[in-house]
Amino acid sequence: DAGAHTLGRTAVLHTTLGDVHIRLYHDECPRTVENFSVHSRRGYYDGVIFHRVIKGFMVQTGDPRGDGTGGESIWGGEFEDEIRRSLRHDRPFTVSMANAGPGTNGSQFFITTAPTPWLDNKHTVFGRVTKGSDVVEAIENVAVDDGDKPVTDVK
């Protein structure tokens, strides 16, 4: 995820495999978008790897430790979900917060590569890919180890 910058209600993830453009749902999820946007502007995501890639499901990044155990919100620690009935995991290229249960959002997020309705009401959808779905698919198709971590870092 080698860095992201936000342009109002959109963001561009600059990855080692290309750029991914995202529409952010600021009106529906203001705290989640603020967290993502401020982290992006401050360079928090610069050089951070996609640490979890599961073909047919999603690609995940946003952990400065690079192992799925790190990251925090801009407020320190975790923050509450902003689940909205109008924003579902009903299609590929949905951008959503990773968490370890209700109210445990930090900095990690994922982009789906298929509809994932079982994630509805559990993860905050805060954006959709508008351009660069081919880049997300390229990330999805990299070789991974037994722990779903890319063999070669994708940032």
Our answer to whether residue 123 is catalytic in this structure is yes
Our answer to whether residue 24 is catalytic in this structure is no
Our answer to whether residue 99 is catalytic in this structure is yes
Our answer to whether residue 52 is catalytic in this structure is yes
Our answer to whether residue 87 is catalytic in this structure is no
Our answer to whether residue 23 is catalytic in this structure is no
**Identified catalytic residue from 13, 105, 119, 128:** 119
| N-term to C-term CA, the chain | 4
**Identified catalytic residue from 26, 39, 51, 52:** 52
Residue 57's nearest CA partner among 120, 149, 130, 137 is 137
Q: How far is residue 1's CA from residue 14's CA, in Å, rounded to a whole number?
A: 6
Cβ neighbors of 101 (< 8 A, separation 6 or more) are none
**Identified catalytic residue from 26, 39, 89, 123:** 123
Our answer to whether residue 110 is catalytic in this structure is yes
**Identified catalytic residue from 5, 9, 21, 57:** 57
Residue 29's nearest CA partner among 91, 102, 80 is 80
**Identified catalytic residue from 60, 89, 93, 105:** 60
Q: How far is CA 137 from CA 58, 93, 98, 99, 101, in A?
A: 9, 9, 19, 23, 27
**Identified catalytic residue from 50, 110, 126, 128:** 110
**Identified catalytic residue from 35, 99, 105, 108:** 99
Q: Which residues are catalytic?
A: 52, 57, 60, 99, 110, 119, 123
